[in-house]
Structure 1
């Protein structure tokens, strides 16, 4: 039986100060979360100063929560010890101003279970776990994977469907089966790009099951269909505009939401033209938040795209 989201009461102060209050996880995930980049120095080391600046930038911009160690954080190139350090650093610098979601996913179910048991998750609001990649499991394999990790997790699990990266779509039927049958699975980040699939999930989801978009470019119309918000890449730089757009859409103020969507549309196209996080890091490097540095096999965007991004930002 699906555990109600209201069963998780988390202490969460508002982003802009004020009185501390209790929010359900459903309330915390309504709005914009940002999938934080992991800044690197030219020598490949994690740039902790730039990560702190990024955290401050997105919170000041008004995002409702942050997600650390997601796909945008280049987690495949970060070793186990560094991941623990990133989690602890993020908790410290966020300092309970907004909720923190921790990304823990892998193609090995046993490895995910081990990390869930050993990672410092006391301050986490939930765990975002990507559908198993590379091995291309069947839908039953995906179901059993999530059922196993949900049982082991000390925190609520947010499903993450991104078939462009994993090589296997998690169908609406599998998502709904997990949502209705598996305890401790309370939300999903849906990034299949299939609007019909998204609407099937929204139509038949449990009442308190949260569905957020994982695609900046179509998040506004997805919210209009009933989604609860967005976990954004673009908000690493465009925190205020993205957050304002999603809040307007959630309030059914589509005139404002469309204006912001159209303002950001060219930025979205440039940001994802070659790869993620290459695009967003280019925006942030030009803006002075971090170095345009990566760990292989990820590389910076091409010179021509970088110049186009510079021209857009200057404009």
Structure 2
């Protein structure tokens, strides 16, 4: 499949019902402890808006927090949602040159399933440093641990252990029955259009979740989403999605405003978006502080005035 075979204008799918999954920011108190009250409220708020909460993702510092915190997040998510749907990151920490750790991944995925969540398989050095056929074999082995899971391609702009697969490897991933979808976070449109085209040809029930916070209108072309940007405003993302389904032209202006928020907050270093989210949620009165994990990149305090103006334009401040 090459660029010449792509016609994005022909791929637009109007009045489509969008599936939205929103990564939940893990908030912190001035003491350095997790702000569990604000976390639980945001999980509930996200679900009530009609989006599926995603916990222990990059937005939840899954690569920085300890196992006890991850487990507590799963427990509280299950309790807040009372059996409602959620997804959670299955992350295995390793180093360059490491072997693929099937047992560790299987434990993480099984644990998430036991708590009622759908596992999202984070990449690791041991996974991505294999050749394409071995990567597919690794995912096939993971499919024996749980009934369903989501894959995840992650740009190295966000994590050094990420990789965007070639289309042959992606097709192999798509052919695994237990893999019901995958998040694509290359931050580029063309490879995502290629995946949508491949999905439509090979497996129409497979869900391509855009993770492109610089192109949230990819839902127009058939992507659903699993975004960090939506944690800033799950209410507005749900409103935007409903507008697209209804054919409401107001979709475009609201999408533009949300996209501007994305361009500001996901600027380099992209991982700093988590501090931007904390600043914005604090402005909305949804968290007690704008603190983040101490190992996460900060944003300048001067951003707060810009975020306040954007919040006012969006009608939430």
**TM-score if structure 2 supplies the norm length?**
0.80
2:18·2:219 contact (CA, 8 Å) conserved in 1?
no
1:141-184 Cα distance to aligned partner (Å, 9 max, x none)? 432332222222x241101111232342122221111111x231
Tell me how far apart the structure 2 counterparts of residues 257 and 210 of structure 1 sit (CA, whole Å). 22
Give the conservation status (yes or no) of the 8 Å contact 1:161–1:192.
yes
Which residue of structure 2 aligns with residue 176 of structure 1? 171
Distance of 2:285 and 2:41 partners within structure 1: 10
Q: Which runs of 5+ in 2 are unaligned?
A: 1-16, 95-99
**Partner of residue 116, structure 1:** 109
* Cα offset, 1:125, TM superposition: 4.7
305, 311, 314: which one pairs with 1:313?
311
Give CA-to-partner distance per residue, 1:257-304, whole Å, 9 cap, x none: 212111223211222134131111110122222221222311431122
Q: Map 1:195-214 to 2 at 5 A.
A: 195-205=189-199, 206-214=203-211
Query: 3-state DSSP class of the match of 2:165?
Result: coil
TM-score (norm 1): 0.80
RMSD: 2.3
2:29 aligned residue: 41
Change (3 A) 1:175 1:140: same
Question: C-alpha distance in 2, partners of 1:177/1:202?
Answer: 15
Specify the alignment match of 1:301 in structure 2: 299
Q: Which residue of 2 aligns with 1:92?
A: 79
Q: What CA deviation, in whole Å up to 9, does each residue of 1:105-125 have, x standing for no partner?
A: 2255332122224x2523535
Q: Tell me how far apart the structure 2 counterparts of residues 141 and 280 of structure 1 sit (CA, whole Å).
A: 37
Number of aligned positions between the proteins: 279
Distance in structure 2 (CA, Å) of the matches to 1:132 and 1:33: 22
The residue that corresponds to 1:149 in the other structure is 142
2:222 aligned with 1:235:
no
Query: What corresponds to 2:278 in structure 1?
Result: 281
Task: Provide, for residues 68-93 of structure 1, a one-character-per-residue CA deviation record: whole Å limited to 9, x for no partner.
Answer: 11111011221112211110100101
Query: 2:4 maps to what in 1?
Result: none
